[in-house]
Structure 1
């Protein structure tokens, strides 16, 4: 029997609840047999799948999308419109289409990193957490290692629509030994508040999962550099020695606005800048760089070490493949910095 989602989150914050028929969303339908998934990722996809089919014809999207969220997402990702993820149905569609790839990219990275054997707990701060694909990667990695590590996760995002996903994560947190919370605010403002720092503590791991590329679409280069400077000075500087900064993002240096034919830097352009700023702050820091091979393409961007393959690590249910054509190959670039001792 499906549990009822409580009206408040655990621990740090209260999640603003959206009025959704929870019983239907969590139980799935009898025909598909969903609702029996053991992993948190599959539970979240289940939730978004059902929510999408309930609400997709009640879309309040300002753009002319003909109730096809894939059209809107492609316009955003290929820079045909200056727009955020501002539609409930788009949030659901995004999860079903992209989450397996993004979680796999992060999970593949985590297994390459040197983790202390005596590690008993970890505090993760995820900036621009969105669908929380990094969280599922941490859980996957822990499961593969048989780890009993206590994971404390604070996701920060300015987009309230992601609470559709976040409240489900809060609901299932105890089942996965998670201490999880979410804030909808500017992360710099957030960490200048003593109450947040006192409750959560300073992070051991700072994650930016597809955050830089999302910001770069709508932010001038000068302002992007200032944002990175602020993150380094106000958050990374306070993090303990030995802590990790992890970035996973698009493996491209430039994008183009199709209407204006103007190119602008994207995530990879800012990897080097962030690396320089952290090394200036902490010169003894260690840096790792990774990329995934794009099989079948003779030319692609190489960045540091190459992962041995690019297949995703999670099994995609047939009903997701049929309706959302999800990405099933990894393709990102990754930067990891361990703050120097």
Structure 2
């Protein structure tokens, strides 16, 4: 029996409500107009200063620094800030962004190394389309905490291998349509923790099979419209953990059937408009496939595949014979089978995720 004189554990119930409010406002994004950055009411200032940690600014806002200074309050840091497409964004804003967790400054073309020096604690950073020659390798030096980085459409030669030296914690890298040859295999040396890579439209010959030797943890790979580079079957040897592969629009003659031999764990495969001369044998490796997109693939590949194979997502083979005489569009049977009785050039994405 409990001793009545024994003290009961103390719970600070008065803190439950404010703690819950703070947690909720981590996910509340306050939109800010150009007019608000210049003038806000006393009530707005009090509310913004105490609660709001996520901001989305209109692209014509020209007093962002003043607004952030006015509404900082006693908040330790901001959680999310969207300043994308803001032509007025200058380095004076960035001291007020220190400690921000997630920042979107895509298509802001006045970014330089001095501005980036304030982003030491950022975890998710979008620099898409920041094609500024004032942004160099030095600007990436302090991004040691960054786990997600988007440098898509950044083609300036001022960004190269040295930019990736301190990005050892990076988990997601998006570098679609980065054409600069200053990015080579060396850039990937420290990306051993990367699980998602988007290199769509990357045509530089400086990225070869060797880049993938350090990407053994990769689970998602997008290679849309890849051609004219030095990637071959050998690059896929290290991708045994890959579960999602997108090769849509790929026209790389050095990638053949052999590339798929080690991709037995792939569950999502997109080959939209892929003109590669693959044979139907590549599908023998995909025992765990859940989603497949072969729209606008070559007639030869579609014909051979559809006439000889059924994608088996279940265990009951009886459904195959029942569907062979069907002229209806592809459908998912109750047994979990998917069968294509006729060739349809533009059949839609197939998925069994909802079975």
Bin the TM-score by the shorter chain: under 0.3
Larger radius of gyration: 2
Q: Which protein has greater RCO, CA pairs closer than 8 Å, 6+ apart? A: 1
Q: TM-score, normalised by structure 1?
A: 0.25
Greater fraction helix: 1
Compute the TM-score of the two structures, normalised by the length of structure 2: 0.25
